[in-house]
Amino acid sequence: MDDLLYKLALHSVEGVGSVTARQLLQIFGAPRSIFEARPKELEQEAGLPKKLIQQISGGEALLKAEEEIRWLERYDIQIFFIQDDNYPERLRHMPKPPTLLFYKGQASLNSLRTVGIIGTRKPSKAGLWQVEKLMEELHAYQPLIISGLAYGIDIAAHQAALQMGLPTVGVLGHGLKHLYPARHQRTAQEMIENGGLLTEYSFHTEPDPRHFPMRNRIVAALSDALVVVETAQKGGSIITANYANNYNRDVFAVPGRPGDPTAEGCNWLIKSHRAALLESANDLAYMMHWEQTGKNTQEQLKLFEELKPEEKIVVNLLRTQETIHIDRLSLESELPHGLLVTVLLEMECKGLLRTLPGKRYVLKR
């Protein structure tokens, strides 16, 4: 409980974002040590301004954390802290990962396969049909479906996933006390039972327009493949696609008729080589080297859940490209070289990856 208190307290300090939080954790080692440090240490060793030092040393953050714990316990909400083993591996290695996440649901965020589905808030009938068709085709590959629970394509993706029995997670731009839009409450409740709701915002945080672009970066980072169904050339879907490109995720777009406002963004993503053209889930599966579910894939799903934390790091890095050199693996995984070599050898013995000439590695799918 004490550890949880200090994690939540660090998260509640206004002005301590992910960069400052990671800096403090590198210096002091653990959240509790940050709050037990003397003001002079916070100033000299971490270079914090007086305003932040007062918030950390004054005790207000700890009081906020105590209240937050009561709400988490009451509503059965999990937290994922950046230093913990249960933190989603796909997010751990993104630039400026959230220090702490709140989650209510059943689905594993470390699912073997994840697909983000995004698009316009005002889809056409053809766009909605594309979402339903895509979900039917994706059923054979059993991915976790990620979206933002917004109007239009987002909610259509969540609902279609539920109908097909696929787990689906909504990333929110507010705390778990609220739900925006409110009319999606019924779907959200179904998602908690077969998927989940995820946010980086504390329980009472209300919806705010500034939060939703930040939410989009989590959607992008959680998705092995991000699919844009319909969108204009400007807006949240394009922002999310740009995040995904920056995170080395595979981006796909469903093409539309030239001149159609709902197709402008998708066609532009394809023309500018920011997305691959997608006509069916088979296109996605081919590009991602996925095989349909069967005994082998189910065994892979079970095996992935049983992986050690450092093995999960390697798996998620190998997902981003067909092959990767050991030097790059060492750099991006931040694992000591000796440990990485041991991990790679063990993973090859388990049948998770193959060694290629030139000290390159590829994930078996």
Residue 204 or residue 356, greater confidence: 204
Q: What DSSP letter does each residue of 203-231 carry, written as one string?
A: TTPPP-TTHHHHHHHHHHHH-SEEEE-S-
- Model confidence, pTM: 0.81
Which CATH number is 114-288's, of 3.40.50.450, 3.40.50.1820, 2.30.30.90, 3.30.70.20? 3.40.50.450
Q: Are 167 and 112 in contact (CB under 8 A)?
A: no
Q: Quote the pLDDT of residue 217.
A: 96
Domain residue extents for the chain:
2-74, 114-288, 307-363
Measured CA to CA, the distance from residue 199 to residue 172 in angstroms comes to: 5
- 141-150, 235-244, 269-278, 323-332: range with lowest mean pLDDT: 323-332
Residue 320 in tokens: 């981003």
* Domain 307-363 coded CATH 2.60.40.10: no
In this prediction, residue 157 carries a pLDDT of 98
Q: Name the strands in the sheet holding 78-81, side by side, starting at the edge strand that comes first in the sequence.
A: 78-81, 100-105, 195-199, 168-171, 144-147, 114-118, 225-228, 250-253, 276-277
pLDDT band of residue 303 (cuts 50, 70, 90) is: low
Q: Binning pLDDT at 50, 70 and 90, where does residue 295 land?
A: very low
For residue 329, what pLDDT is reported? Answer: 86
C-alpha distance from residue 208 to each of 9, 13, 48, 201 (Å): 22, 19, 28, 11
DSSP-derived secondary structure letter, 294: S
